[in-house]
Chain A
Amino acid sequence: MLRVLRDLLRYDGRFRFAFILLAAVVVMFLLSFVSPDDPNKTFVVAMDAPPSLDHLFGTNSRGQDIFWWLTFAVRNSLIMGVITAVISRVIAIIVGLTAGYQGGWLDRVLMSVNDSFVIMPLLPILILLGFLLRDMMNLFLLGVILGFFGWPYDARLIRSQVLSLKERSFTRTAVYSGTNGFWITINEHLPFVLPVVFATTINNLLWSIGTEVTLSVLGLSDLTTPSLGTALFWANQHGALVAGVWWWIAAPALVAIILFLGLYLFFASINEYIDPRTRLRLIGA
């Protein structure tokens, strides 16, 4: 693991950049634990102060320091993203392994439903859900809901991996030696699929945090909890741009860009590293 990190840091410029961006995100995450301000309290500092040394990202019209507030937003958005990722990973692995290993009509039905979720516009459905659950919505629940919608794309990917593994000789050896199909899937296939699962996790984090932003902007999340989405919601709510408090919008946008770009480049770099073709070149086959 450390060797992989070292290799990537040394030879992949994109990974280095991603590493720096993600380090900044992690620092913000950690800083939230030592924040001098409570994000739920308003009017603790001067209102509408532009960015300065005292207030790195300025202050907002609710009298909050935007930087410290955003440290909580980053923490909450990430935690929510991880909840989504974990749930959707479990579903994607189960669906992908089952469809890939069983094949036949089960595969066809699962993939047909799967593709329906890939093709369908999910946002209107999520808006409908968010609308109906508005009164009880919190970040945890949102993470769970997104988890139930975020698996189809990755399930298809895992399935295609299993399909190619099924053709390898070790699977046949296991089948002929009488190993139970379920155990072949768990013992023999899962380890090969895990790197893919890891890479898609990052992509899934991106999707879930991005969707949270979208739903929050529409007012369909728990607006009292700091998150990247609610940051933008409150800025809009107070007409930040019209009032000239542009940093209130710009700061969360900047943090979001750093987070998204960092995660995406990290994903792209890892994805190339685990690509079988790259691995083949590495061992020189």
Chain B
Amino acid sequence: MTTTPVTDPQGVGEPQLAPEETVEVRRPDPWYRVVWSSSKARVGLVIVAVYVLVAIFAPLIAPHDPTNSDFVPLAGPSAENWLGTTTNGQDIASQLIHGTRISLLVGLFGGLLATAIALVIGMVSGYAEGTLLDDALTFLTNVALVIPVLPLIITLVAYSDTRGVPLIVAVIAITSWAGAARAKRAQIITLRNRDFVTASKFAGDRTLRIVFAEIMPNMTSLVAAGFVGAATGAIGAEAGLAILGLGDSGSVSWGTMLYQANAQGAIAQGLWIWVFVPGLVLGILITAMTFVNFGVDLLSNPHLRED
């Protein structure tokens, strides 16, 4: 196959090879194409998309109300109850479908909140590197990093009367931002002495504007990767809390299904489907999100790109 060399118009970088048919100058790939170029990320994105659709249309897809306990208890799979029923006569399939909502909600908002905290602390700390403020924030980050998360979350939630999704989201976010904050601090330290920052300083921009409007857009991929990671962690943490009976009491999640199954002795009664499916869909979702992050990592680290 013959290829025509095409030079980069700005003269930056190596001459690039373009296939014969395309004569146009090759621009850097847009972000979505980079992410999509990873086969793992493609699989992950498709799976996550399916989960999102299931969550949005849960009431339409689910055959029954998840809290309805009018069915024959302990029934096996049938046309009426696809995955059978619980000891309380609830439909397992409907619980599973509705449970998608809680996990994705907690993942979305827990991820957003944890990323926001990590951004503010990491950026401010890194930009103020070497000052007392940086020392204080770095200490805070290191403390938050070494404290084991689950015992702290359990204690915080156990004290609260109302255990709704907002409380769970808040508690998970304030205990899980530290790793991402440290990564952002390291990144901004490499960026803050670049020419465009100096230019912005000389132009008289305020520090907050420099940090969040000038420097932050250069860290989008790191922020995105941090968000996916935080959302994944939040989904796992919600399941852990619910398994211990500390979940949102008003709704059904995969974690509360496992809690109920264990509390009602599902295993001893041979109701393995009740136990098997919630953990499986949870594991698949978390694996899919981990795969998505393989693609997002390609954005921040071009060396990893597969082509």
A joins B in a complex:
no
